[in-house]
Amino acid sequence: MSPRRCASLVALLVLFAAAAWTIVDGGDHWVRVVLERRPPPADR
The answer to whether residue 42 sits within a structural domain is no
What gap in Å lies between CA 10 and CA 7, rounded to an integer? 5
Report pLDDT for 39. 66
Question: How many structural domains comprise the chain?
Answer: 1
Sequence-ordered list of residues with C-beta below 8 angstroms from that of 29, at least 6 positions apart, any chain = 21, 22
State the residue range of the domain holding 28: 3-37
The answer to whether residue 44 sits within a structural domain is no
Please answer whether residues 31 and 23 qualify as being in contact, where contact means their C-beta atoms are separated by less than 8 angstroms: no
pLDDT tens column, 8-43 = 999 999 999 888 877 776 767 667 777 777 766 667
The answer to whether residue 23 sits within a structural domain is yes
Q: Over 80: is that where the pLDDT of 7 sits? A: yes
